[in-house]
A and B are shown apart, each in its own frame.
Chain A
Amino acid sequence: MAKLTGAEILIKSLHEEGVTHIFGYPGGSVIPLTDKLYANKGLKFYLTRHEQGAAHAADGYARATGKVGVCMATSGPGATNLVTGIATAYMDSIPMVAITGQVKCTLIGNDAFQEADMIGISRSITKHNYLVRDVRELAKVVKEAFHIARTGRPGPVLIDLPVDVQLQSAEFKYPKTVDMRGYKPTYKGHVGQIKKIAKAIAKSKKPLIYAGGGVILSGADKELTAFARKTDIPVTTTMMGLGGFPEDDPLSLGMLGMHGTAYANHAVQASDLIIAVGARFDDRVTGRIDDFAPNAVIAHIDIDPASVSKNVPVDIPVIGDAKDILKKLIELIGKQDHPEWHKTIAKWKRELPLKYKDDNKLRPQYVVEQIYELTKGKDVIISTEVGQNQMWAAQHFTYTKPRTWLSSGGLGTMGYGFPAAIGAQVGRPEAIVFDIAGDGSIQMNIQELATAVMEKIPVKVIILNNGYLGMVRQWQELFYNKRYAFTVLAKNSSTVCPDFVKLAESYGAKGIRVTRKADVKKAIKDALKEKGPVIVDCVIEREENVFPMVPAGESISNMLHGLA
């Protein structure tokens, strides 16, 4: 058998895994690898302008397509620049493989030029990681890495590949199967436990489904919808679960938690049975934990046993794949209805709707609504940054399909949205991809505008520009006596810093500024027509707040509703 170099083995292995796109950045320790990629037809390499952009792009690609995202960087600073992106993927259970160059094996531990201990650094932000010291192990490592990344509770895996191993030769034989005695995720739910949920549903008067990102990761959205409809149980989703259940369905209560709808939070507090599906009772969802769902029996369907009873004691745990378990539940349970419960919820929906002051001022919620109205029925993906922009995008766009919402939920990474949108667009070229951004977050990875322009990636960036780090400013307004410590980005709405229109133009992208409500629709329509990337800089009401809001550490019964 002919021998191949480590670089060739890695690329062949990526082919075997069905990888077609890599986001990355070259450097001294990956030259053998990038050299082989240069000649490769089946693998398109996207050069980002910062390694963080590569990691988020791979993450956005994974979220939008369901495939494993792949990013690559050189040793040392290249690799450490991936860290935030890997941590983001880890917190949201996104399948990703990060490939980092490493200094020569003989130099490892020597404080060599551009050396960083990536195995040590990435240990707590990866599902697993590998340092490959022997080229003969490489194919097996890649096989395992992809298997680990995409199975069970998905997550990022890092492969650290010393430059000399990339040049050494070995015979290439890609393993057909993986057998790791320490890694055997449970997929099939325990039937006895599933029956217990069915029984609890039959007894319940006020059942509620609380669905998270696991529904999307498992591809269980259809099963969830069928289950909810058959049992007539209302559904609230976490932010990560947006798109896992159609929000235009009458059973939908939208998002729960800190900035969830009032009716979702009230439903949690009044419910006598909560069925959590692929959700992990995050503090942003539960608020003060001892007052979360005080009257409810809690059933929890999750593939990760460690998520069960971590924050909230669970009465009926079922470990396994959400799709498989929901299918069984649907078979086990007869049709139900809960007219009284729905009457109560309808009253909350009437009395406490999601609302904002829809006057003639340019308000962010209106912008988000218009993006929805003007793209309704089309294949649209919304990516977001982090902060107020993210919450308005979560609240005021109606998500009806999985993999249409890309947002850093667990880690809350500012600068995520734009590169993630680029990755999503690469993975789904037919889709319309928006990044709903703030003027703070967008500046964290603005350099990727060059990537979008050069690669002709028509992402539409909508900046909800209020001249503040708006979410922190909102907390300062409400809880810190309006002391706007270090959250002011522009002195007033006529100062622009930077001028995003000029900035877009300097990269060769289209820039549009909107200062009046009346111009929003036209700007979005113009952006939709554009073949390349566009920045729409919406100069919004500066001190608009996100409501409802559960103050940190409070019970979700205690929502602030704002003035609107």
Chain B
Amino acid sequence: MSKFVIAALVENKFGVLARIAGLFSARGFNIDSLAVGETENPDISRMTIVVEADEKILEQVKKQLNKLIDVIRVQDLTGGEYLDRELILIKVKAESARIREKVVQIVDSTGAEIIDIGKKSLTVEESGDEHRIKALVELLRPYEIIEIVRTGKIAIQSDKS
């Protein structure tokens, strides 16, 4: 099993997300993350779906998605070059000045940002590709993470190649 990034262009209308989610649960496909938003055309939404599958299941995922009337196009980005980004918010417990300093150091060194300074916690925002997000989480993990909120991955094909 590996992770694949699929982009689906869908009609921007009532109930489409439920159709996609229903398809995945009915057929037993695993969704790792799913992000939806309007595209340059307000009639069309784009879903970036990260699925955990093998090649055979991936093939079915794509075909079954394509069968849905409200799905306009399905693209497997994993096959080519693509750029992916995710936004993450991490709330870290930071009561002592020493820990606050450490967290600030990590944030500075990674290019993340502190967006909320609480009495007992700091909230860090980062956006970037999978590696960048993962690196930050790993660096902060030794401290007490109170909450992590992630948007799920969005991805776009690269025109470089």
Contact = CB atoms under 8 A, between A and B. Distances in A.
A127 B14 CA distance: 17
A123 B10 CA distance: 16
B60 A120 contact: no
Contacts of B59: 309
B60 A310 contact: yes
A41 interface: no
Residue among B14, B22, B67 facing the most chain A CB atoms (10 A cut-off): B67
Interface in B13-42: 14-15, 18-19, 22-23, 26
A123 B69 CA distance: 12
A124 interface: yes
Interface stretch (A74-82, A175-183, A219-227, A239-247): A175-183
Contacts of A182: 10-11, 68-72
A123 B67 contact: no
A123 B66 contact: no
A229 B15 CA distance: 49
Contacts of A282: none
Contacts of B22: 123-124
Interface string A288-332: 000000000000000011101110000000000000000000000
Interface in A88-146: 119-120, 123-124, 127-128, 131
Interface residues of A, number: 18
B56 A309 contact: yes
Contact of B18 (A120, A180, A183): A120
B151 interface: no
Contacts of A148: 69
A181 B72 contact: yes
Residue among B15, B22, B71 facing the most chain A CB atoms (10 A cut-off): B15
A124 B63 contact: no
Contacts of B60: 306, 310
A328 B137 CA distance: 59
Contacts, number: 35
B64 interface: yes
Q: How many of chain B's residues touch chain A, expressed as a range?
A: 20 to 34
B67 A180 contact: no
B18 A304 contact: no
B18 A127 contact: no
B63 A306 contact: yes
A305 B68 contact: no
Contacts of A305: 63, 66
Interface in B51-87: 56, 59-60, 63-64, 66-72
Given A306-B60, A309-B59, A128 B69 contact: yes
Contact of A183 (B23, B26, B69): B69
Contacts of A309: 56, 59
A127 B63 CA distance: 14
Nearest to A144: B69
B53 to A, nearest CB: 14
Nearest to B23: A124
Contact of A123 (B14, B18, B72): B18
Contacts of B18: 120, 123
A124 B71 CA distance: 15
Contacts of B19: 123
Contacts of A131: 14-15
Nearest to A313: B56
A308 B62 CA distance: 12
Contacts of A123: 18-19, 22
16 contacts: A119-B15, A127-B69, A128-B69, A131-B15, A148-B69, A182-B10, A182-B68, A182-B70, A182-B71, A182-B72, A304-B67, A305-B63, A306-B60, A308-B63, A309-B59, A310-B60
Closest 10 CB pairs of A and B: A306-B63, A128-B69, A182-B72, A183-B69, A124-B26, A181-B72, A123-B22, A305-B63, A182-B71, A182-B69
Given A306-B67, A309-B59, 16 more contacts: A119-B15, A120-B18, A123-B18, A123-B19, A123-B22, A124-B22, A124-B23, A127-B69, A131-B15, A182-B70, A182-B72, A304-B67, A306-B60, A308-B63, A309-B56, A310-B60
